[in-house]
Each structure stands twice: as C-alpha cells, then as structure tokens.
Amino acid sequence: MGSAPRSPALTPSRDPERRSTWSATSRKLTVQGSDVKIAAEDIDDLTVQGSNVTVYARDIDHLNIMGSGVTVHWLGDDPTIQDTGANNTTGKLSQ
C-alpha cells in the first residue's frame, strides 16, 4: 500500500474565518482576502488582492500587488514588481 502522488496544482479554497481565497496552478498563485499569512515556493506569478496580507516565498518571478497593507518577502532573485495599491512593503530576505 502506498499513498497516491500529490498533484502539483492546488484547487481554490475558502477559509470562512478569514474570508480569503487562494488558488495555484502551474506555478501561479493568486491570493484574495484580508488578514492572511502565506508561505510559498517557486512561484512564477504571484498576485495579491486584499489588505493586511503577508507572503513569504522562496522564489518569485513576477509580483503584482493590488491592495493595501500587503507585505511580500522573498529569497532568491528580485522579481519584477507592479504595485498599484497603497502602503505595501516588499523586500528580499537574507539567509
């Protein structure tokens, strides 16, 4: 008996207490909600919509922020960043 292999694609989920959603497909991650903390690895495109969202990622290629009070920190190379929100913080973490 063995366990089934894990699928690389995640399906949408809703957390009723946090009123947030996330979805990930083929290294693209979209976060919609407020008061959410997320850790991710190896993301091509990260989109954050909402307020008071914190994301820690190992690698991000492209970052798109549409919200306020969003914090995104990463390890690895700097992503291209498009920030159309307000009062957001982005930055590379050192190891």
Express each pLDDT in 38-94 by its tens digit.
Answer: 999 889 999 999 999 999 998 999 999 999 999 999 999 999 999 999 999 999 998
Residue 22 — very low, low, confident or very high, per pLDDT cuts 50/70/90? low
Q: Residue type for 18, please?
A: R
How far is it, in rounded angstroms, from Cα 25 to Cα 36?
Answer: 19
The pTM for the full model equals 0.74
Residue 20 — very low, low, confident or very high, per pLDDT cuts 50/70/90? low
User: Nearest 5°: CA angle at 8, between 39 and 36?
Assistant: 25
